[in-house]
Structure 1
Amino acid sequence: MTPISSVSATATTTSQVPTGTSSPTASSKYVIAHFMVGNAYPYTVDNWLADVFLAHSSGIDGFALNVGVDDWQPSQVANAYQAALQSGTGFKLFLSFDMSSLPCSTAANAATLRTYITTYAAHPNQLLYNGRVFASTFSGETCTFGQGSVASGWSTQFVQQLTGSSAVHFVPSFFIDPSQFNTYSSVIDGMFNWNSAWPTQVTTSFVSSLGLLGDIATGQSSAVSSALSGVIGSTTPDDTYISSLTAMGGGRTYMASVSPWFFTHYGPSSYNKNWMYFGDEHLYATRWESLINIRDQVDIVEIISWNDFGESHYIGPIEGDQPMSQAWVDGNDHTGWLNLTSYYASAFKTGTYPTLTKDQLVMWSRPHPAAASASNDPVGKPTNYQITQDKVWAVVLATSPATVVLSTSSTQSQTFNVSAGVSKLSVSIQPGGTMHGTLTRGGQTVIDLQATNFTFEAEPTTYNFNAHVVASP
C-alpha cells in the first residue's frame, strides 16, 4: 500500500502531489455516483443490475437516484432497489430529489417526497447514515411547500414528519451562500456542494484577465498550468462549506463533488443550455487528489455523474434514454474514467493509495479544435469555448518506472519517462490527429492503446466539446 502521495507529470515536468493523511484506518466514508433516473425510461432490472455491478467493481458504493416529476420514475426507482438487492454486493441507494423538476409550492407536494422515503426506509440497500435514511436534493432553495419560508417548508412538511425508522439524514444541495446555512439549522444534517466539482470561476473573462487566451490558443501548456495551478484542484469551495457547517455544530455531514467534464449544447428551442466548464489540466484526477488530501473533513464524495449525457459528465456506459444529446454524446465513451475512479475512490475511503498491480493508461481529447467553425450548427459555439486547449490528456498508472510514448500522428509523438504511481501527461493535437499511447519497460511493450474511432476534425458539422475517452483494459 502507498501513503497518500503520488507522482504527477506534465509534458515537461514532474512534481509531487501534496501529502495528506496516510492513516490506513477504514472509515464510514462513501463514494456515490449521481444517477439520472430520468434517463432510465427503457431500463429493465437487468440494466440496473449491470450498472450496479460495473459501479461496484469501480469502487463506487452507491447511486444517488435523481428523481423528477415523470410519473414512470417511481417504478424505475423500484427496479433500482430490486437490482441492488439482487446484486448481493451491498450496493447502496438514496433519493436525490430534483427540485428543478419536482413541484414544491404546496404541502401536498411534500407528500410525494415523503412517500419515497417511507417506501425504502427499511430496504436493505437504502443508505443509512447515523442510523437515519440518507436523502439529498438538486436545488430546493426556493421550495416553501405552502409555508411562510423555505426553512419552515422543508422543516415542517418534510423533516419533522419523517420519524422513527423513516427519520432522515438530510444533506441537500441548496444553492445558497454558506453564510446562510444556519438559517436551515432545523432542516439540514449537512450540505452537498454540487458546484465544487468544477472550477466554475474559470471563464473566458477570467482567463482573459490573466492574459492566458493567447497561451491557450497556441498550446502553451506550461504557462496555463502555472497560472491556473492555484485554481485547479483548489479546496477553497470545500473549505467555505466545511467551516460554515462546523460553525453550526453537531457534526454536520459534508458531501463534496467530483466530475471529469462538463459540456452541454441545447438551443433556445429545447433546454437553452450551451456552455462548458473548464475540464483541462487532468481535472478529474487533480480534484480527486485534492479531496483525498482533506479527507478527514469530507464525509462523502459524489461523482457527477453516472449517466447525465446531456451535460457530458457521465462515467457510465451510454445506454437508456438520452435527453436529445445524441449529437455530442454518441460514440464518445467515458467508461475509461472508471479506471481512475477505482484508484482514487479506494484512496479516499481508506486513507491510503492502493498498490498498483497492473499498468494502466487512460487518454482523452475533444473531437475538434476549439477555434473550429461548424458548418451546420444553429446553436452556435458554447460559452467559454476559448478556455480549452487542443490537447490529448493522459493519466498513467505505472507499477514501476516505464517509458510512455503519446502519439497524435505518424510524425508527431512525445516520449515521457514516468515513475511508479500516477503520472499526468499531455500532448498537443492538430486536425487529422488521433490518440495512440504505448507503455514500455525493459524493451517490452506492456500497453499499446489506440483510439480506433477517433479523429480530431478540422471542420465539424456541429460543435462538440465533449470528450472521447479510451483506456487500456
Structure 2
Amino acid sequence: MRYVLAAALTVAFFALLPAQAAKAVFSHMIVGNLPDFTLSDWESDIRLAQSSRIDAFALNVAAQDSSTTRSLDLAFQAADALNFSLFFSFDYLAQGPWPADRVISLIQKYSVHKSYFRHDDDTRPLVSTFEGPGNAGDWHAIKVATNAFFVPNWSSVSAAEALNLAGGVADGLFSWDAWPEGNTNMTTGPDKVFLEALRPRGKVYMMAVSPWFFTNLPGFGKNWLWRGDELWDIRWQQVLDIQADFVQILTWNDYGESHYIGPVREKELGLFTTANAPVNYVRSMTHDGWRKFLPFYIEAYKTGRIPNAVEESVVATYRTSPALACPGGGTKGNNGDFGQNEVAPEELMDDNVYYSALLNSDRGVTVTVSIGGKEQTGILSKVSAAGPGSRGVYMGAVPFGGNTGDVVVAVLRDGKRVATAEGGKGISAKCENNVQNWNAVVV
C-alpha cells in the first residue's frame, strides 16, 4: 500500500491565522443533466447542500441546451424559498462559446433574485466560467452591463496569462486543477502558483476540491481516470492550509466523470445512453458519504479553528471489483491530451477499502473492516491535521485481500463501537457487461 502523510497542520496554525474576509464554499452543478428535474427535486438537493454547509451551487449552463430556461426558473424558485444561493458558471466548451448578449441577458434576468450569490458587500453578482479564454474580450461589456464580479476558470492557459487576458478583465481566477497526475497524491503546488500570481494584484482565488475522476463515454470521446484514492480528505486538509477566498467542489452531479457528491437519481443518468457508455458506472454507486464531513471541514476553513466537538463518524470508500477482475474497458490512467504519461489504470488505483474517521480523539480507537464477513483489523495511518489525540479526520486502509461481499467498517474506542459505515454495493469479482467499473462507492 502507498501511504504518504498529508501535510500536517497544527493547532497553533489555526490560532495564528489572520482575520479574513468572508469565505464561501460552492458546488458545481451541471444544469444540462437535469432536464427532468421538478421543483421538488431542486428543493431536495438544496436541502442536502444546506445540511452540508455548502453556500451555493455554481450552475454550469451550456450555450445550446434547450432545457436551460425551465431548469433555471425552477432552480431560482426553489433557492429563493429556501434561502440558498446560486450563480452562473458559463460553459464555453460543452456546446461552444456563449454570445456576449446572451450572457448579459441571463445575468440581468436572474441576478435580481434574492438567491443570486453576490460579492463585495452583496453588491456584485458572482459569475464564473468553464474555460473560454478566447472570449475574454467580451467580459468588459458584460461587466459594464451587469456589474458582475468575474472569477473565470481559464485553466487551459497559465495563471499569469489568464490574469492578463483582455487587459486584466478577471477579478480573480478559479483553478480547475483538482486531481493528481500519476500515482502520487495531490499537492498544493498548483494552488500556490495561482496565489503568487493573484495576491500581489489584489485578486481572489477560487480553489477546486474533487473526490474522484473516472469517465468512459465513447460518444463524447472520453475514457480515462486520475488517481482518487484518499483524494477527498487530503484535498480538504489542503484547503485548510491554502485558505483560498472561495472553494468550489467538483462536482455536485457530474455523473459522467464520477466526481458527484450529490444523490443519484435514475432520471439524471440519460447521458450513459446518449454517450454509448459500455456500462452505467453510476447506478447503485452512492457517493453520499463524501458529504458526511463537510460541515466539519467547512467550519474549519471559514473560521480557521477546529470545531470544539464533533459527531464521531466514519466513511468508507472502495471500488466494487478488484482492478484485474474484468477487462479495463480501454480506460487509460492519466490523459495524453494534457501531455500526461498514460499508464494502465491499475497503476493508479489500489484494491483497498479506505476509511476516514471524524473523531474527537484517536485515543483507544481501533478499526475493523469486514468484507463478506471476513474481518481485518485496520490502523489509522494518517493522523488528524491538528496532530495525534486531537479532533479531526483520521485515515487508513486495508486491502481487499481476495475477499468479496458486503463491506462494513466499524470504529471502536476501548472495545465499544462508536461509528459504522455500511450499506453500499458490495465487492464482487464479476463486473456488469464484463467491463471494469473504476467508480467508487462511498458510505
TM-score by length of structure 1 reads 0.80
1:365 aligns with 2:322: no
Is the 1:364–1:393 contact (alpha carbons within 8 Å) kept by the matching residues of 2? Answer: yes
1:424 aligns with 2:374: no
1:155 aligns with 2:140: yes
Deviations 1:146-183 (A, max 9, x none): xxxxx433334x233x2xxx310010101211221223
C-alpha separation between the residues in 2 aligned to 1:169 and 1:449? 41
Per the alignment, residue 141 of structure 1 pairs with 133
Is the 1:11–1:425 contact (alpha carbons within 8 Å) kept by the matching residues of 2? Answer: no
Report SS of the residue matched to 2:220. coil
Structure 1's 405 and 140: CA in aligned 2 closer, same or farther, altered over 3 A?
A: same
Deviation at 1:25, TM superposition (A): 5.7
C-alpha separation between the residues in 2 aligned to 1:72 and 1:15? 42
Deviation at 1:462, TM superposition (A): 1.6
Per the alignment, residue 218 of structure 1 pairs with none
Per the alignment, residue 85 of structure 2 pairs with 92
Deviations 1:422-464 (A, max 9, x none): 2101010135254221122344322343345312325552221
Structure 1's 372 and 125: CA in aligned 2 closer, same or farther, altered over 3 A?
A: same
C-alpha separation between the residues in 2 aligned to 1:46 and 1:459? 34
Per the alignment, residue 45 of structure 1 pairs with 39
Per the alignment, residue 255 of structure 1 pairs with 206
Structure 1's 243 and 433: CA in aligned 2 closer, same or farther, altered over 3 A?
A: same
Per the alignment, residue 334 of structure 1 pairs with 287
Is the 1:261–1:313 contact (alpha carbons within 8 Å) kept by the matching residues of 2? Answer: yes
For 2:143, the aligned partner's letter is V
Structure 1's 404 and 373: CA in aligned 2 closer, same or farther, altered over 3 A?
A: closer
Deviation at 1:62, TM superposition (A): 0.5
Per the alignment, residue 336 of structure 2 pairs with none
Per the alignment, residue 223 of structure 1 pairs with none
Per the alignment, residue 352 of structure 2 pairs with 391
Per the alignment, residue 9 of structure 2 pairs with 18
Mark the runs of 5 or more structure 1 residues left unpaired by the alignment. Answer: 1-9, 144-150, 208-227
Deviation at 1:15, TM superposition (A): 8.2
Is the 2:28–2:250 contact (alpha carbons within 8 Å) kept by the matching residues of 1? Answer: yes
Deviation at 1:407, TM superposition (A): 2.6
Per the alignment, residue 449 of structure 1 pairs with 421
C-alpha separation between the residues in 1 aligned to 2:48 and 2:424? 23
For 2:354, the aligned partner's letter is W
Per the alignment, residue 127 of structure 1 pairs with 117
Report SS of the residue matched to 2:292. helix
Mark the runs of 5 or more structure 2 residues left unpaired by the alignment. Answer: 334-342, 384-388
Instruction: Find the partner of 2:48 among 49, 54, 58.
Output: 54
Structure 1's 448 and 302: CA in aligned 2 closer, same or farther, altered over 3 A?
A: closer
Instruction: Find the partner of 1:187 among 158, 169, 174.
Output: 169
> Percent identity, aligned pairs only?
32
Per the alignment, residue 259 of structure 2 pairs with 313
Per the alignment, residue 242 of structure 1 pairs with 195
Question: Please, what is the CA RMSD of the aligned residues?
Answer: 2.4
Question: After the TM superposition, which of the residue ranges 352-361 and 29-38 deviates more from structure 2?
Answer: 352-361
Deviations 1:389-440 (A, max 9, x none): 1111110012333222123344440143784532101010135254221122
Question: After the TM superposition, which of the residue ranges 395-404 and 45-54 deviates more from structure 2?
Answer: 395-404
For 1:264, the aligned partner's letter is T
Instruction: Find the partner of 1:404 among 364, 367, 370.
Output: 367
Q: Tell me how many residue pairs correspond in the alignment.
A: 405
C-alpha separation between the residues in 2 aligned to 1:141 and 1:311? 23
Per the alignment, residue 116 of structure 1 pairs with 106
For 1:463, the aligned partner's letter is Q
C-alpha separation between the residues in 1 aligned to 2:420 and 2:188? 36
C-alpha separation between the residues in 1 aligned to 2:171 and 2:226? 29
Is the 1:431–1:458 contact (alpha carbons within 8 Å) kept by the matching residues of 2? Answer: no
Larger relative CO (CA 8 A, sep 6+): 1 or 2? 1
Deviation at 1:343, TM superposition (A): 1.5
C-alpha separation between the residues in 2 aligned to 1:458 and 1:103? 40
For 2:377, the aligned partner's letter is Q
C-alpha separation between the residues in 1 aligned to 2:216 and 2:97? 28
Is the 2:287–2:442 contact (alpha carbons within 8 Å) kept by the matching residues of 1? Answer: yes
Instruction: Find the partner of 1:72 among 63, 67, 76.
Output: 67
Per the alignment, residue 339 of structure 2 pairs with none
Per the alignment, residue 34 of structure 1 pairs with 28
C-alpha separation between the residues in 2 aligned to 1:428 and 1:184? 51
TM-score by length of structure 2 reads 0.85
1:167 aligns with 2:151: no
Is the 1:11–1:426 contact (alpha carbons within 8 Å) kept by the matching residues of 2? Answer: no
Structure 1's 263 and 404: CA in aligned 2 closer, same or farther, altered over 3 A?
A: same
C-alpha separation between the residues in 2 aligned to 1:155 and 1:468? 44
C-alpha separation between the residues in 2 aligned to 1:12 and 1:299? 30
Per the alignment, residue 239 of structure 2 pairs with 291
C-alpha separation between the residues in 2 aligned to 1:318 and 1:15? 30
Deviation at 1:103, TM superposition (A): 3.8
Structure 1's 294 and 408: CA in aligned 2 closer, same or farther, altered over 3 A?
A: same
Is the 1:63–1:94 contact (alpha carbons within 8 Å) kept by the matching residues of 2? Answer: yes
C-alpha separation between the residues in 1 aligned to 2:286 and 2:114? 32
